[in-house]
Amino acid sequence: MIKIHVLRVGSTQVDEALPFSNKSKNKLAFTGIFRGKKHQINVPVTSYLIEHPKGLILIDTGWDTEIRTHPLKYEGIANYFASPGKLPANEAVSEQLEKLGYQSSDIDYVILTHMDIDHVGGIRLVKDAKHILASQKELQAASKLNPRYLRRLYKNIKIETFPNTEYDLFDDVSVILLPLPGHSEGMTGIKITGDWNKFVVIAGDCGYGRDSYEKLILPGITWNKKAELASLKKLQNLALDKNCQYVYLTHDEEQYQHKEVIL
């Protein structure tokens, strides 16, 4: 039996045009520049804990508790003004794990869907996990100078890599790491399959909600639009499979209606 817990690890503020870019006529709207506060929306940031018979897996880490006291220093000026994060009491990934009776050293694998700040920002809080993994391509991209990646957050933490092809974590098809490039170069989704072939997909920032993959709406920020469209089509096909129970996306509020799933 596999059990998945959906954990709210704070929120982030973005321009309303960012999630579904094709809906906005203003091409630069997603950046939030000159748009004012009334266009800002708050979206959740999410981690997922998977209790699997072969190991405990955490997907993504949300924010560090430092954001509560020194937000500007922690996020850096560009991130702080573009999409400031919030981390209410008891929502840090370590606090959420504790509520479920775990500490970070219990985790066998932390899997990072990609290296954006709202996904790796809490990595320090789970640095005692046995393995921390990201895709080869994503880690390579994140090691170059690029304002979207804050290397200081993970510079002293050992991150192992997996190849950029479909990767079977336990060699039994129950946890497959799926390349979903587009939002970022090495974006990875996780397909988790239980008994009777029922599965869910955790797709990070490949989309922002059901409309992303059902209507193929690109988000405002993409590393590569063509790759992103292909990844959304892949997600669309997975969602149409009769065995697919749900597609989880980091910033989608709807997923909290499916907070605990048993496969």
Which CB, 11 or 193, lies closer to Zn ion? 11
Query: Rounded to whole angstroms, how far apart are CA atoms 95 and 166?
Result: 32
Question: Which of 114-122, 182-190, 192-200, 230-238 is the region at the interface with Zn ion (rule: CB under 5 A)?
Answer: 114-122
Per CB under 5 A, the segment of 116-124, 161-169, 235-243, 254-262 that binds Zn ion is 116-124
Minimum CB separation of residue 204 from Zn ion in Å reads 7
Q: Based on the shown chain and the rule CB under 5 A, indicate whether residue 16 belongs to the binding site for Zn ion.
A: no
Question: Cβ of residue 137: shortest distance to Zn ion, in angstroms?
Answer: 17
DSSP characters over the chain = --EEEEEEEEEEEEETTSSSGGG-SSTTGGG-TTT-GGGEEEEEEEEEEEEETTEEEEE-----THHHH-HHHHHHHHHHHHS-EE--TT-SHHHHHHHTT--GGG-SEEE-S---HHHHTTGGGGTTSSEEEEEHHHHHHHTS--TT--GGGTTTS--EEE-SS-EETTSSSSEEEEE--SSSTT-EEEEEE-GGG-EEEE-TTS-SSHHHHHTTPPPS--S-HHHHHHHHHHHHHHHHSTTEEEEE-TT-GGGGGG-EEE-
The CB-of-111 to Zn ion minimum distance in angstroms stands at: 15
Q: What is the number of other CB atoms lying within 10 angstroms of the CB of residue 250?
A: 28
- 118 forms part of the interface with Zn ion (CB under 5 A): yes
Site for Zn ion in 38-57 (CB under 5 A): none
Task: In angstroms, give the least distance from the CB of 206 to Zn ion.
Answer: 10
| Residue nearer to Zn ion on the CB measure, 52 or 119 | 119
Report the C-alpha gap between 65 and 129 in whole angstroms.
18
Report CA torsion sign: 125, 150, 18, 12: positive
Q: How near is the Cβ of 251 to Zn ion at its closest, in Å? A: 6
Place of tokens 């937000």: 71
Min separation Cβ 34 and Zn ion, Å: 23
With respect to Zn ion, which residue has the nearer C-beta, 42 or 105? 42
Site string for Zn ion, 202-221 (x = CB under 5 A): ---x----------------
CB of 2 or CB of 150, closer to Zn ion: 150
| 2 or 142: CB nearest Zn ion | 142
Of residues 179 and 219, the one with the C-beta less far from Zn ion:
219
Q: Does 75 bind Zn ion (CB under 5 A)?
A: no
Number of residues that bind Zn ion (CB under 5 A): 2
Query: Which of 118/185 has CB closer to Zn ion?
Result: 118
Binding segment (CB under 5 A) for Zn ion, from list 14-22, 110-118, 137-145, 228-236: 110-118
**List of residues contacting Zn ion (CB under 5 A):** 118, 205
